[in-house]
Amino acid sequence: MLMNNYKRYNVTFVKGEGNYLFDDKGRKYLDMSAGIGVNSIGYAHPEWVKAVEGQAQTLAHASNLFHTQPAQKLADEIAEKTGLHSVFFANSGAEANEALIKLARKYSFDKTDSPARHKIATLSNSFHGRTVTTLSATGQDRLHKYFDPFTEGFYHIEPNKKLELQGETCAVLIEVVQGEGGIKPLEPEFLREIQKKCADNDILFLIDEIQTGFGRCGEWFAYQNYGLTPDAISFAKGVGGGLPIGGIVAREGLKDVLSYGTHGSTFGGNPIACAGALATIEVISRLLPGIKSKGERLKLILNKKFGNSRGLGLMLGATIGDNLDDIITQLLESGIVPLTAGGGTLRLLPPLTITEKEIDEFEKKLAEIG
Ligand SMILES: Cc1ncc(COP(=O)(O)O)c(C=O)c1O
């Protein structure tokens, strides 16, 4: 029996194929949530299956005391796509952010203004994970209950307002589009102001690309829509195409900050997950040119139905308010898998493989619900 920490819908999925899911009663659903941004190339994509099967037959795991080819190749791919330099692999988003936080504090320690600067600024309404430390980073009061004492040294600044950083700050960590917080893209001027203030004060500019990354926002990474140059980013979710993988990639000069023995992960860089990620990236590279136009079309569809919509690429939301639960139930009953986010938001994160015909189907079913 499972614990009660999730409020699950009364549906049991048994199979996925393309952009559709099937439940144990044989009902078919168009997936508009991608397992919360994970199934970026849909289900059972033949290239992904081939890569994962092949790697499972070759080498499923080796410890990080040795090199493996899939991890090295994937690190090089990610460095190339980001324009950054060196990679650490973890297994989830929260773990990736833990690594970013340790990178920032160790960077500051190595600079040795003594005592080291240790504070990290994050945004109100942000979401960075569920470990005790990443909950501290998360700027939502409702999540700061029950688990005291939380990790010290985090404070929250208001998005798109005057930027004021406290003394002792070693890093600023942001999502370019707040995901769990309600699909809220930050204003470009605010992003550029953060970047400048960080650069001028030797503060690390860190971007959480866990939900926004790997094509979700129409470029490889959301920050590339704004011409930003972060010092390091975290990633997870969509890169694995369904297998658990996360990590960070940092600019040149930060490769040796997490020196021997300061950080690690038994499963990080697992060969099967990395082989799956390499296949996923290959598929996304072909999808990338079409993502923004599909997103614009879905934005219009949401706007027509609800009178508002927002987002970037295929990361979309509309404010519904009190009616949200009812809308979600109706969508599920009509064979659509939707998603919610904070602030009464209907959130859409379809697989990046969604076709125009499938968008037609979504439009038709959305029009039919009350
Ligand atoms: C922006 C962001 N950061 C971190 C996380 C945490 O990722 P995980 O659930 O893989 O730990 C999420 C998950 O929703 C996220 O959206």
Is residue 68 within 8 A of residue 59, CB to CB? The reply is yes
Is position 301 within any domain? no
Task: For residue 298, give both structure tokens.
Answer: 């879905």
For β-strands 184-185 and 177-178, DSSP reports them as: antiparallel
Q: Would you place residue 9 in the very low, low, confident or very high pLDDT band (cuts 50, 70, 90)? A: very high
Q: Would you place residue 113 in the very low, low, confident or very high pLDDT band (cuts 50, 70, 90)? A: low
Is position 101 within any domain? yes
Query: 122 CA distance to ligand 1 centroid (A)?
Result: 14
Is position 233 within any domain? yes
Measured from the CB, is residue 178 less than 6 Å from ligand 1? no
Q: How far is CA 186 from CA 121, 160, 316, 330, in A?
A: 15, 7, 14, 31
Measured from the CB, is residue 347 less than 6 Å from ligand 1? no
Query: 94 CA distance to ligand 1 centroid (A)?
Result: 6
Instruction: Report how many domains make up the chain.
Output: 1
Q: Where are the beta strands (DSSP E) in 168-301?
A: 169-174, 177-178, 184-185, 204-208, 232-235, 246-250
* pTM tops 0.95: yes
Measured from the CB, is residue 182 less than 6 Å from ligand 1? no
Q: How far is CA 303 from CA 299, 309, 311, 316, 318, in A?
A: 6, 5, 12, 11, 7
User: Region 231-259: what's the mean pLDDT?
Assistant: 98
What are the tens digits of pLDDT across the range 257-269? 999 999 999 999 9
* Ligand 1 atom, smallest distance to 246 CA: 10
Measured from the CB, is residue 230 less than 6 Å from ligand 1? no
For position 225, which CATH number holds? 3.40.640.10
Is position 148 within any domain? yes
Q: Would you place residue 91 in the very low, low, confident or very high pLDDT band (cuts 50, 70, 90)? A: very high
Measured from the CB, is residue 92 less than 6 Å from ligand 1? yes
What is the pLDDT at residue 115? 74
Task: For residue 65, give both structure tokens.
Answer: 């005391």
Separation of first and last alpha carbons in the chain: 36
Is position 40 within any domain? no
Enclosing domain of residue 138: 47-281
User: Region 216-238: what's the mean pLDDT?
Assistant: 98
Is position 321 within any domain? no
Q: Pocket of ligand 1, candidates 98, 126, 127: which has the most ligand atoms within 8 Å of its Cβ, to mutate?
A: 127
Measured from the CB, is residue 98 less than 6 Å from ligand 1? no
What are the tens digits of pLDDT across the range 303-351? 999 999 999 999 999 999 899 999 999 999 999 999 999 999 999 999 9
Q: What is the DSSP letter of 268?
A: T
Query: 127 CA distance to ligand 1 centroid (A)?
Result: 7
Query: 290 CA distance to ligand 1 centroid (A)?
Result: 25
Q: Would you place residue 370 in the very low, low, confident or very high pLDDT band (cuts 50, 70, 90)? A: confident
Residue nearest to atom 3 of ligand 1 (CA): 128
Measured from the CB, is residue 216 less than 6 Å from ligand 1? no
Is position 318 within any domain? no
Q: Which of these, 274, 264, 191, 199, lies nearest to 235 by C-alpha position?
A: 274
Q: Would you place residue 296 in the very low, low, confident or very high pLDDT band (cuts 50, 70, 90)? A: very high
Q: Where are the beta strands (DSSP E) in 146-304?
A: 154-157, 169-174, 177-178, 184-185, 204-208, 232-235, 246-250
Is position 243 within any domain? yes
Is residue 97 within 8 A of residue 246, CB to CB? The reply is no
What is the pLDDT at residue 114? 64
User: Region 179-208: what's the mean pLDDT?
Assistant: 98
